[in-house]
Homo-oligomer: A and B are copies of this chain.
Amino acid sequence: MTAKRSGARSKRPQRTGISPPMPEAPSEPSLSRQRIVAAAVELLDAKGIEELTMRRLADRLGSGVMSLYWHVDNKDDVFDLALDSVLEYRGAPQMVQSQDWRGEVAHMLEDWRASMLRHPWSASLLPRRALGPNILSRLELLSRTLSRAGVADADLNAAIWSLWNYVMGATITRASFGLSDEDRAAAQQRVARLGEHYPTIERSRLLLDDDWDGAFRKGLDFLLDGLAPRQ
């Protein structure tokens, strides 16, 4: 279990927003934090966590491996950045107090899940990496919404962690489990072959089930029912 690094990032250059004089170099843009992160996300999408390598990343960017280390602390840093970059929330500005807190929360969590499913490696990275700014923003927005809806301060943290855990769990399961139909069929086959040991699972065809979206929605509703402020 490696400790999560949540501290200051690096003493390296921060993008200032001001671009250098005018070298709009057209062919091989120079290395940058952003380009590295974008390439990492591409690589992760294409090949998965195990296949992300500093060397492969450098190859894809047309640079030497060690050049990456000017922009980035180490491989864990790349993971942190890739994860957070994929979790940016593009929701309504959310300035007005809506009437429908429940719909809002459900929408936020569905969006969270959808973002992670678009990048199936991200869900399993979530619990192991630092909480980046985009993740914190989502948590903040969720907190604010629940708080405004009337959830008592004393219940707020438990409510947030319950929802976080549920969304994360559902998404990880879906991403790792719903991989391929053949895999699931093979797993169910194996259960069947084991004969009488798992009759209920065999009968309900648990491992073949694929209504993940419905199951997610249903469980979420139950949680929200429970979390709803009494009045």
Q: Taking the complex as formed, is A73 at the interface, i.e. its CB lies under 8 A from any CB of chain B?
A: no
A209 to B162, CA, bound (A): 13
Inter-subunit contact B157/A215 (CB<8 Å): yes
Inter-subunit contact A187/B6 (CB<8 Å): yes
Inter-subunit contact A186/B6 (CB<8 Å): yes
Contacting residues, chain B, for A167 (C-beta < 8 A) = 169
Contacting residues, chain B, for A116 (C-beta < 8 A) = none
Contacting residues, chain B, for A147 (C-beta < 8 A) = 200, 204
Contacting residues, chain B, for A86 (C-beta < 8 A) = none
Inter-subunit contact A160/B1 (CB<8 Å): no
A211-230 toward B: CB 8 Å interface, digit per residue (1/0)?
11011001101110111000
Within 8 A of B (CB), among A140-184: 140, 143-144, 147, 153, 156-158, 160-162, 164-170, 172-173, 175-177, 179-180, 183
Q: Taking the complex as formed, is A7 at the interface, i.e. its CB lies under 8 A from any CB of chain B?
A: yes
Q: DSSP majority for the A interface?
A: helix
Inter-subunit contact A131/B225 (CB<8 Å): no
Inter-subunit contact A157/B222 (CB<8 Å): no
Inter-subunit contact A200/B144 (CB<8 Å): yes
Q: Taking the complex as formed, is A25 at the interface, i.e. its CB lies under 8 A from any CB of chain B?
A: no
Q: Which of these binds chain B: A88-96, A102-110, A121-129?
A: A121-129
Q: Taking the complex as formed, is A60 at the interface, i.e. its CB lies under 8 A from any CB of chain B?
A: no
Specify which of A164, A165, A205, A221 lies most central, judged by the most chain B CB atoms within 10 Å of its CB.
Answer: A165
Inter-subunit contact A4/B183 (CB<8 Å): yes
Q: Taking the complex as formed, is A114 at the interface, i.e. its CB lies under 8 A from any CB of chain B?
A: no
Contacting residues, chain B, for A128 (C-beta < 8 A) = 124, 176
